[in-house]
Amino acid sequence: MSSMDEPPSIAAAYAAFWETLVGKSPHTVHTYRTGLTRFAEHLVERGLPLTSPTDDLPGDVLERFYTWLVRRYGRANRPTCTTYVAAARAFFRFLERRGWGPRAAHLERLQLGLRDVAGRGSYKTPRVDPALPLLVAAADERALPAASPATANLRLELLRDRALLRTLFCTGMRRAEVASLNRADLANGRLDQAIITGKGDKERTVFFDEPTLAAIRAYLQERADGFTPLFIRHDRARGKPRFGGENYRITTQTVFDTVKRYARAVGIDASPHDFRHEKATVLLNNGASLSEVQDILGHASPETTKKIYAHYETARLRDAFDRFSASPEDLVRRLGRDPRSPMPRNGIDGGE
């Protein structure tokens, strides 16, 4: 259908939009599908069925979708609302390219209305428990079951947990990035860096320290297999291996559940993303620049790094405050006057 044809239904436009995402990462496609599912629910609630033509979409649809999301998820979950609106905006950019956009407003006007309602947004300061490293220690301190056929899976799961938690702590990778690692990326634990494809299909280099590599090597040695994924399932329900063990690869949910399990064991609240915040904290407070942290963690924009993590430079700011501030007495001395000597009156005591 050309841009000169009658606009399709919203449902048909959805289908056409999915075809354009073939080059996007699975994570992006999943996010867009979730966001546009919410958008469809909003339209139906508003009385606009998906069989309606796309040019019937109202001119205030983006701003109303945003307020609908805020009411549904709450102001505390504004990042979720923003993510879902971003999916709708991508859909409207697609409609604009095809000439299928709403009659009531062009994309620019739609986005202006959204900005007026949503504002620029803000990031809340991440609250990372300082006891987060205890998760790594808890896995390391758990006794490894004696080697036997009955305990083989338990041994492998513990060795995997140790390597997984150290990887999260050492690299600050996202959980999807960790789940996607292949053993060849690190040459079975012999390479101290790997090139990965992260969010937005952007490549970056991640770095590993020796304790993390040692944990990975111990895990792979115990596995004694040639499967492609670095981290795999070891439960009895995993079935037979296919495609180099690709069906054994752990999911992002496994990463999440592993962190939560050890967090409960040490009595704190933590998630995989907290390891990214912790990595930024350590890097910044030990002297890394924002641009270096941006590159290490794979942020698309330095503004993301600055907004989320700049507050973690508090210790450095305190040091600068203490080193470079001056008291009134110091400044008086610089004027060449003894601060203990009486000041000339000149009427400053409020006298007549």
Q: How far is CA 31 from the centre of its chain?
A: 13
Catalytic residue among 276, 277, 279, 312: 276
Catalytic, 202? Answer: no
- Tokens found for residue 76: 């505390």
- Tokens found for residue 136: 């790594």
- Tokens found for residue 283: 């890097």
Catalytic residue among 174, 183, 233, 249: 174
Report the alpha-carbon distance of residue 180 to residue 166 in Å, rounded: 16
Residues whose CB falls within 8 Å of the CB of residue 284, separated by 6 or more in sequence, listed in order: 290, 293, 309, 310, 312, 313, 316
3-state secondary structure (DSSP) of residue 151: coil
Catalytic, 199? Answer: yes
Catalytic, 183? Answer: no
Catalytic, 174? Answer: yes
Sign of CA dihedral 90, 92, 93, 99: positive
Q: 149-156: list long-range contacts, CB under 8 Å, 24+ apart.
A: 153/234, 153/235, 153/236, 155/222, 156/219, 156/222, 156/223, 156/234
Catalytic residue among 199, 260, 306, 311: 199
Phi, psi of 80 (to 5 degrees): -65, -45
Residues whose CB falls within 8 Å of the CB of residue 322, separated by 6 or more in sequence, listed in order: none
Catalytic residue among 89, 273, 307, 311: 273
Length of the chain: 352
- Tokens found for residue 191: 């390479």
Instruction: Return the active site residues.
Output: 174, 199, 273, 276, 299, 309
